Structure 1
Amino acid sequence: MQPDIVIIGSGMGGATLAAALAPSGRRILILERGEALRPSAADRNAQAIFGDGVFRPDEEWLDGVGQRFNPGNFYNVGGNSKFYGAVMIRYREQDFAPIQHAGGKTPGWPISYRQLEPDYLAAEQLYQVRGKAGEDPTEPKRSGDFCHPPVPDEPDIIDLRRRLRGVGLNPASLPLAVDIDTWLAAGQHPWDGHPDTCGGKMDAETVGINSALEHANVELMTGCHVTSLTSDASGHITNVCYTRNGMQETVQAPIVVLSAGAVQSAALLLASANDNYPTGLANRSDQVGRNFMNHNCSAVLALHPWRKNRAVYQKTLMVNDFYISDGGGGAPLGNIQLLGKISGPILAAVSPLPRWLAGLIAARSFDFYAMSEDLPNPESRVTLRNGQITLDWQRSNWAAHEALVSKLKSCLRKAGFPIVLSQAFDRRTPSHQCGTARMGDDPNSSVVDTYCRAHDHPNLFIVDASVLPTSAAVNPALTIAALAMRAARHISETEFAA
């Protein structure tokens, strides 16, 4: 098939774009580096997933001082969404404007929440998001309701919600892309961090790729590692170069869409430097690879020694009382949501605790995820060192995150949990990487325009988390999907109109 569109990557951005464009009849080729996940004995085995890392690729990057580390990204059909917590939450309306944080001021977006709202709704409908409008005081205006009710709280989470309300918080249902009956039919385990091989999570493969492949004009090729893009003097992308089965191959298409993820998309653009673009493709602004953001995150465990938490999946509520401000009129702190239920093997795998003690703690813990915004910084960046990816993450706004964790701990103690523990996530946990090909109106300070088209290359679109101008303090999956919907509509109107 000679494609009209080549999409590099099958994660949330690429899969959603493919699904949105598939009904056009245009020939779409999706190149995916990995293979589709298949059911295995390790799918619901906490030790295998979190302790042995059987699904983590054998990959090393360099950090800012040249030390090697395993980044924990996944390469398979559906990308990282196959392991995601399935939280599909909108950025708040305030997130699109400049905001003063404790650690600095964000630049804002070149589009408003109102402009993206129809695409948020379309993405929620595509991914069958479960939720309930009106519970969260920070929720932005909606043009339509969720098409499914929220995933139900388990009995001990119902009690937790009551306790949180009792100390003045406003717990709300997490918007989730999970068919809980399908998920639990395959095993009584949480979905957060677990691979989806049963179709219980509405992830990029289960929904986006499978919807696209219902159309005969769409083809998915796996095992294709894209190594470079070539361009002519006018800036048009002329070839997509990739390896498959040890062979070098190329493909051409009038439209090329890069959706390989914040780090890999930036690395590919930098690796594609040529005489016309000596610093890398789409990099006239010198912004490719810069402004890397990775949420500041901590796990917070609340427990009472005489009470057990019998929840299986747990992850059904969030608290945004400290999202717009610190609760007293000060700078924002961030989002709080439940983690998937931590078990003894998971806790033992990520901590120095012996298995017996980890089991005792996990049986009694209610497990929270505290998330604060990481601010864009041009010196926080992805570069290549002799072809090796180097990620120099300059963490920012950490004081705000410490304040969020402190506030949460105080609230949990008041809610009846005398023991509250916390542990921050480090660079080995990819906590929503974004920002390396930022969106903007000015080609001198941004990489793509407001429809995700590269300023420097008229037939190149970048549709993944790399284009996010700010990280906000919520999970980015729905925003990535909404931007893909917006880009697909623009492509249809401008490239397919004739």
Structure 2
Amino acid sequence: MAEIATMTWDVIVIGTGIGGGSVGRRLTELGLKVLFLEKGPDLGDAKVPGLAIDQTDPESRMAVGAWPKQISARLDGKWCEIDGMIGSNVGGTSAFYAATLERPERHDLDNAEHLPHPTGGWPVGFEEMRPWFEMAERYYEISGESDPLDPVPANLPAPPRALPKSDIDLMADLVRSGMHPYQTHMAARFVPGCENCFGRRCHRRCKMDGRSAGVLPAMESGRATLIDRCNVSRIEADATGVQSLICNRDGETVTLKAHRYVLAGGGLGSPSLMLRSRNEYWPEGLGNRNDMVGRNLMFHLSEIIAIWAGRGRGEPVASRSISMRDLYFMNGERLGTVQSMGLTAGYGEILHVLHNRFDTSALRKLRPLRVGLRLPARIATTMLGHAKLFVGVLEDLPYATNRLVPDPTDEDRFVFHYDISDELRRRRAIFREKMRAAFRPHKALFMAATPQLNFAHPCGTLRYGDDPASSVLDRDCRVHGLDNLYVTDSSFMPTSNGVNPSLTIAANALRVADRIAESMRPRLAAAESLG
């Protein structure tokens, strides 16, 4: 660590998830020397247990790659503690993701006229982003089928996968009912047993994530160095640029320097670090002269529905195979994608849903009736068998009042305020109605009655744009007012779109890497002429 602290790196990347791993790999391919800093451990290819649902001990959480503290949130005015599935390990949250990487739609990036209020939109349009989407699909070895509704289908680098009979039958049913299903775009090298790693950490590198598709190839180039268990406590900056990072590792405090810095700590971690890095030049926090850092927090709403496709048509298999975008944008409403989750539902899951509905009903005080729900759950399972679970990814939209509010006494404690807007509730009702209609005539059951935010998808807290008054980053994702600090995680997104954000994060990180390399070419050319 002491030797590393004496060096001035080309680029230091803070965070090793999708955004950090992708930008670091691309920078090394462009000839730059990169230092990766990761707060959590490098778990390598070790097989580690999953996070216990009631685990709150910071050291125990970090040992399995999870963020050390749960999240404190004020949701619709009520305080609660939640586990947002935020990763803290080499690979970040992507170590646990479901590896579903899909492009947003053209209208997502090209205009903002369907939003409830002006946002400034996306300064970089779909066509400009297309080469980076294609590059990200190659980096992450995406397999699947083209969306039949896409006027310019993606040319995926990996061939489609073999599907179980139950999925083939259900896709045929959806086509007959007028839907347009296709094979989900997945970032994985499929080997026997790898289907079990989606939604959990993979120790065999079959799932392509920030580590396997980003950090490891960068390290293999010989131009990258990784320091794990390294906490960046502060970014030191003057009026125009970052001077250094203050980091702690194993009780030792060091100062690290580079020509360029990339912040990729996630939609909650990156704005938290910027707000903590106050000084005389930036009394409200880095990039926060217009009080925009941490605002416009978005997630996605997850609408989970169980579908019974009928017995005798192939036993339901837990596979993430089917996607459809028929409901993505309907009659001017921004809705989202519907995808199979790779999970099945039986007696226990049905009983859980019935209990939840009972507990929010007018009968909830009549507790003996709750026990009687076991019978209808058992009858439903006997008659219908196991169901496939599908999730609707409903787009969330930005509101300045939904924001990160860091705990000044605990840098590991993320705190945010979030209120579900009336327009989101209205779109949710439309989405649920359309989802149920899409699967007719099959039996269906929504798995929750109340809105379910996907806390693993925080985004928008450092939005990029052309106007510094309404954005934190410029179109190159460089912080307004700081000439050498860039951001490549989900916080850059002006809107959340109706798909998982991972591919968009990766594509943007690759784009930003090229911008950083372009800005450093004069310095690199001078160094080459001297040596």
Common fold: TM-score over 0.5: yes
Kept in 1, the 8 Å contact 2:10–2:33? The answer is yes
Compute the displacement of 1:285 (Å): 2.5
Describe the SS at the equivalent of 1:251.
strand
Q: 1:373 to 1:106 in 2, by over 3 A?
A: farther
Segments of 5+ residues of structure 1 without an aligned counterpart are none
Q: 1:347 to 1:238 in 2, by over 3 A?
A: farther
Amino acid at match of 2:501: P
Kept in 2, the 8 Å contact 1:42–1:49? The answer is no
What aligned pairs does 1:185-196 form with structure 2 within 5 A after superposition? 185=193, 189-196=195-202
Kept in 2, the 8 Å contact 1:298–1:425? The answer is no
State the alpha-carbon separation in 1 of the partners of residues 267 and 462 from structure 2: 8
Deviations 1:281-305 (A, max 9, x none): 0112211100000011121111267
Compute the displacement of 1:40 (Å): 6.2
Compute the displacement of 1:334 (Å): 1.6
Which residue pairs with 1:175 in the alignment?
185
Compute the displacement of 1:321 (Å): 0.8
340, 343, 349: which one aligns with 1:341: 343
Compute the displacement of 1:152 (Å): 2.7
Deviations 1:362-398 (A, max 9, x none): 9611110111111111111001233343211233422
Q: 1:140 to 1:80 in 2, by over 3 A?
A: farther
91, 104, 114: which one aligns with 2:127: 114
Percent identity at matched positions? Answer: 28
Is 1:246 the counterpart of 2:246? The answer is no
Amino acid at match of 2:230: C
CA RMSD of aligned residues (A): 2.9
Which residue pairs with 1:261 in the alignment?
266
Is 1:6 the counterpart of 2:12? The answer is yes
Q: 1:426 to 1:205 in 2, by over 3 A?
A: farther
Which residue pairs with 2:493 in the alignment?
468
Kept in 1, the 8 Å contact 2:235–2:245? The answer is yes
Which residue pairs with 1:331 in the alignment?
333
Amino acid at match of 1:18: G
Compute the displacement of 1:192 (Å): 2.8
Which residue pairs with 2:404 in the alignment?
382
Kept in 2, the 8 Å contact 1:191–1:340? The answer is no
Compute the displacement of 1:457 (Å): 0.7
Describe the SS at the equivalent of 1:375.
coil
Deviations 1:206-259 (A, max 9, x none): 111111011222001100111110112x32111211221122222111111100
Q: 1:79 to 1:337 in 2, by over 3 A?
A: same
Q: 1:342 to 1:279 in 2, by over 3 A?
A: farther
278, 283, 292: which one aligns with 1:278: 283
Amino acid at match of 1:394: D
Q: 1:67 to 1:51 in 2, by over 3 A?
A: closer
Q: Report the structure number with the largest CA radius of gyration.
A: 2
Kept in 1, the 8 Å contact 2:436–2:444? The answer is no
Q: How many residues align?
A: 481
Kept in 1, the 8 Å contact 2:302–2:452? The answer is no
Compute the displacement of 1:96 (Å): 1.1
Is 1:203 the counterpart of 2:235? The answer is no
TM-score for both structures, normalised by structure 1:
0.88
Amino acid at match of 1:276: Y
Moved more, 49-58 or 343-352: 343-352
Kept in 1, the 8 Å contact 2:240–2:482? The answer is yes
Q: 1:296 to 1:236 in 2, by over 3 A?
A: same
Describe the SS at the equivalent of 1:377.
coil
Deviations 1:46-95 (A, max 9, x none): xx557566754441332125543333311111111111111111111010
Amino acid at match of 2:426: A
Q: 1:11 to 1:424 in 2, by over 3 A?
A: farther
Describe the SS at the equivalent of 1:495.
helix
Kept in 2, the 8 Å contact 1:344–1:355? The answer is no
State the alpha-carbon separation in 1 of the partners of residues 503 and 473 from structure 2: 19
State the alpha-carbon separation in 2 of the partners of residues 453 and 439 from structure 1: 8
Kept in 2, the 8 Å contact 1:297–1:424? The answer is no
Q: 1:153 to 1:304 in 2, by over 3 A?
A: closer
Is 1:160 the counterpart of 2:170? The answer is yes
Compute the displacement of 1:399 (Å): 1.6
Kept in 2, the 8 Å contact 1:335–1:474? The answer is yes
Kept in 2, the 8 Å contact 1:441–1:450? The answer is yes
Describe the SS at the equivalent of 2:35.
strand
Is 1:68 the counterpart of 2:81? The answer is yes
Deviations 1:98-156 (A, max 9, x none): 345585566421111011111111111111111333x431x2636x7211112332110
Describe the SS at the equivalent of 2:333.
coil
Compute the displacement of 1:339 (Å): 0.6
Which residue pairs with 1:127 in the alignment?
140
Describe the SS at the equivalent of 2:439.
helix
State the alpha-carbon separation in 2 of the partners of residues 164 and 275 from structure 1: 60
State the alpha-carbon separation in 2 of the partners of residues 249 and 428 from structure 1: 38
Kept in 2, the 8 Å contact 1:348–1:355? The answer is no
Is 1:494 the counterpart of 2:500? The answer is no
Segments of 5+ residues of structure 2 without an aligned counterpart are 56-60, 357-372, 526-531
State the alpha-carbon separation in 2 of the partners of residues 216 and 446 from structure 1: 36
TM-score for both structures, normalised by structure 2:
0.83
Q: 1:347 to 1:250 in 2, by over 3 A?
A: farther
What aligned pairs does 1:34-73 form with structure 2 within 5 A after superposition? 34-37=40-43, 55=64, 56-64=66-74, 65-73=78-86
State the alpha-carbon separation in 2 of the partners of residues 470 and 105 from structure 1: 11
State the alpha-carbon separation in 2 of the partners of residues 14 and 222 from structure 1: 13
State the alpha-carbon separation in 2 of the partners of residues 406 and 26 from structure 1: 51
State the alpha-carbon separation in 1 of the partners of residues 466 and 260 from structure 2: 21
Describe the SS at the equivalent of 2:303.
strand
State the alpha-carbon separation in 2 of the partners of residues 36 and 16 from structure 1: 17
State the alpha-carbon separation in 1 of the partners of residues 86 and 391 from structure 2: 19
Kept in 1, the 8 Å contact 2:47–2:203? The answer is no
Amino acid at match of 1:384: P
State the alpha-carbon separation in 1 of the partners of residues 398 and 125 from structure 2: 18
State the alpha-carbon separation in 2 of the partners of residues 404 and 50 from structure 1: 33
